[in-house]
A and B are shown apart, each in its own frame.
Chain A
Amino acid sequence: MSVQSNAARAEATGAAVVAMLRENARTDIPYYGWRSHGSGLLAIAALVGIYIAGVAVLGITPGRFFVGLFRLGDIIGLMWPPSPETWGKFWIYMDALGQTLAIAFLGTIVAAVFAAPLGFLAARNIVANRIVHFGARRALDTVRSVDTLIWALIWINVVGLGPFAGLLAIATSDVCALAKLFSEAIETADRRPVEGIMASGGSRAAAVRFGIVPQVLPVFASQILYYIESNTRSATIIGIVGAGGIGVYLSEQIRVLEWSQAAFIILMVLVTVAIIDAISRVLRKAIIGRA
């Protein structure tokens, strides 16, 4: 039995199977074609229609797009090689990067300190009063819908230009996001420890302290770490409006068209973000693993 004949036999069997399938194929099932997913197609048509109309309304033309793309190519060419030019500037950038990290870290910590009590207030299983609960949730949503950069503008008017304004901006915009996450963690906490403490005569405060806090603390910690990570990214851009950190230099270098320095700063940010991500991953694993 050679390989050749095996292959031939396989082909013959395959052909026989196909012939059999053809013979037995049902022709009595009506095929509706595109009509069977009419509503889906309608939705897609609407989405694409809005898209095309939007492109027209915004005045985006292929001409502008390709001219820009060529200019972008030139810019990327000018970015190579990324370099800070002098060691003096390198250290200035490093200093600013440290400032960025400080803003992100401290901003998140301040946000978390204020978010924890708010989270308990907004949690349905702690505060049974529906009006308080609803009010807390709505207030959180309102503050959350204002971008960090807008908060930075407002805080600059209050405490002046500089990293302190940036820190306050990150803290204010994240208090609400964290409070919402915290309240969700509290709501999904296991009720049984609380019932146990209440059953053995503990007060409500004791039930929260010993029944809920130990459960939610690791979750809180891991969410705080996640926010420090994402705030490192936000903190790089609040400098664009003058609220401190590396963004101040980045926007300045782009405005004066010093592309190789701008590229260097972007690289520094990427490396820093990667390092922070790695550290936070290790810490998160340690925290969740221990819980």
Chain B
Amino acid sequence: MTTGRTEAHVIHTVPVLPDPQLAPLFAGYAGAIAAKRRQMILGVAVFLFAVALASLGAEVDADKFIAKIGNFTSYFSRLTHLDNSAYVWTDPVEWFWGLKRWLRLLGETLLIAYIGTFTGALFAFCACFLCSARLVKSATLRLVVRRVLEFCRTVPDLVFALIFVVAFGLGPLPGVMALAIHTAGALGKLFAEVVDNIDLKPVEGVAAAGGSWFAQVRFGVVPQVLANFTSYALLRFEINVRGASVLGFVGAGGIGEELILAVRRFFYSDVSAILVLIILCVMLIDMGTETLRHRLVRMEGGR
């Protein structure tokens, strides 16, 4: 936008202002850029300060990290060696010596995740209609349900598991309950958002035909939200399979107990075998639920 190019024979489609008028505009532009840059520098400074403060808090020690990063690689090399110092994949039978037991525990983990997700989803399903402003008039009821759901999803499932293990004893029961409560909180919020975005016309239709509140929810709301609900529940199931794999760390059933024992007793090849099983299992579940979700979406689209 310099005036130097202005020549008599060039026809300008964009008018170019004379210099005296341009000068304040350029000054304003420079000022705006400078202000933005100052803001950016301030932001970066605050950010760096927070990082420095956090490094102190988290006891970050670069020397220790560099000195011990060798441990990380050597740890991985130990994970890939059997007791007789052969590579694990040279002797899969020896590597997966406890396959039967581990598969049983993995199955237990999956069941914990499944029952926890199912129970939690049922609770979330009942709760989500109660905290929608469009379906429930009582503000107190809505608030109470919302707060309970918030509590359920803010407390991590492992904390629930720690407490439940004391109350219910060791085993899968506390794990199932911990997952169910956390799932109810997390899904309840997502379900409620779906319910908040429904088309109200079917509900009004059922109400106009004299349907009760339950009939309105059953025939006006549920058909609209069921596909979304299922999709969210499947996603949560994926997350819960991962979560259930560590519930055993606190004694709440599943493969985690075996894993933490193997880690603590330095049975390296067992650790890697169990990790491989967990990773395979989680990936299979991910792929399965993804297929199901895509099919659901297609069913919805075809309607």
Contact partners of A234 in chain B: CB under 8 A: 156
Contacts of B159 in A (CB 8 A): 236-237, 250, 266
Name the residue in B50, B118, B162 with the highest tally of chain A Cβ atoms < 10 Å from its Cβ.
B162
Q: Is the CB of A164 within 8 A of B61?
A: yes
Task: Tell me the smallest distance from the CB of B158 to a CB of chain A, in Å.
Answer: 4
B90 within 8 Å of A by Cβ?
no
A257 to B58, CA, bound (A): 28
With A58-B176, A150-B246 known to touch, is A64 a contact of B64 (CB < 8 Å)? no
Across the interface, do B283 and A101 meet the contact criterion of CB distance under 8 Å? no
**Which one of B75, B156, B164, B171 lies within 8 Å of A237 (CB-CB)?**
B156
Contacts of B168 in A (CB 8 A): 64-65, 68, 71-72
Can you add 11 more A-B contacts, CB < 8 Å, to A105-B51, A234-B156?
Answer: A51-B115, A65-B168, A68-B168, A75-B166, A99-B59, A145-B278, A145-B282, A153-B263, A158-B68, A251-B162, A254-B162
CA distance in complex: A64, B170 (Å) = 11
B126 / chain A contacts, CB cutoff of 8 Å: none
A240 touches B283 (CB 8 A): no
Which B residues are in CB contact (< 8 Å) with A206? none
Chain B residues positioned under 8 Å from A269 (CB to CB): 154-155
Which A residues are in CB contact (< 8 Å) with B164?
Answer: 68, 72
Min Cβ gap B273→A in Å is 14
In the bound complex, do residue A163 and residue B173 qualify as a contact, i.e. CB atoms below 8 Å apart? Answer: no
A25 on the interface (CB 8 Å rule)?
A: no
> Residues of B contacting A142 with CB < 8 Å?
279, 283
Q: Which of B218-265 touch A at CB < 8 Å?
A: 242-243, 245-246, 249-250, 253, 259-260, 263
B55-77 vs A, CB cutoff 8 Å, 1 = contact: the mask equals 11111110011001101100100
Check: B32 CB closer than 8 A to any chain A CB. Answer: no
From known contacts A106-B55, A147-B243, infer whether A68 and B158 are also in contact, taking CB-CB under 8 Å: no
Considering only CB atoms, which chain A residue lies closest to B118 in the complex? A51
Binds A, one of B23-31, B95-103, B106-114, B192-200: B106-114
A163, B59: Cβ atoms under 8 Å?
Answer: yes
- Interface size of B by CB at 8 A reads 58
Complex CA–CA separation, A237 to B160 (angstroms) = 11
Flag whether A149 is at the interface (Cβ < 8 A). yes
Interface set of B (CB-CB < 8 Å, partner A): 50-51, 53-61, 64-65, 68-69, 71-72, 75, 108, 111-112, 114-115, 118, 151, 154-156, 158-159, 162-164, 166-169, 171-174, 176, 242-243, 245-246, 249-250, 253, 259-260, 263, 275, 278-279, 282-283, 286
20 contacts between A and B (CB under 8 A): A59-B172, A65-B168, A68-B164, A68-B168, A72-B163, A75-B167, A101-B54, A103-B58, A105-B54, A145-B279, A158-B69, A160-B68, A164-B58, A167-B58, A167-B60, A237-B158, A240-B158, A250-B159, A257-B166, A274-B154
Q: Which chain A residues border B283 with CB–CB below 8 Å?
A: 141-142, 145
Nearest neighbor of A148 in chain B, beta-carbon distance: B246
Give Cα distance in the complex from A145 to B64, angstroms.
28
Are A159 and B65 closer than 8 Å at their CB atoms? yes
Do B65 and A163 have beta carbons less than 8 Å apart? no
Tell me if A10 counts as interface (CB < 8 A to partner B): no
A270 at the interface (CB under 8 A from B): yes
Per-residue CB contact flags for chain A residues 66-95 toward chain B (1 = under 8 Å, else 0) read 001101100100000000000000000000
B-chain residues with CB within 8 Å of residue A145 when the two chains form the complex: 242, 278-279, 282-283, 286
Asked if B57 and A158 make an inter-chain contact with CB atoms under 8 angstroms apart, the answer reads no
> Do A106 and B54 have beta carbons less than 8 Å apart?
yes
Residue A166 CB within 8 A of the other chain: yes
Q: Which among B59, B111, B275 is the interface contact of A57 at CB below 8 angstroms?
A: B111
**Cβ-defined contact, B167 with A153, below 8 A:** no
A254 engages B60 (CB within 8 Å): no
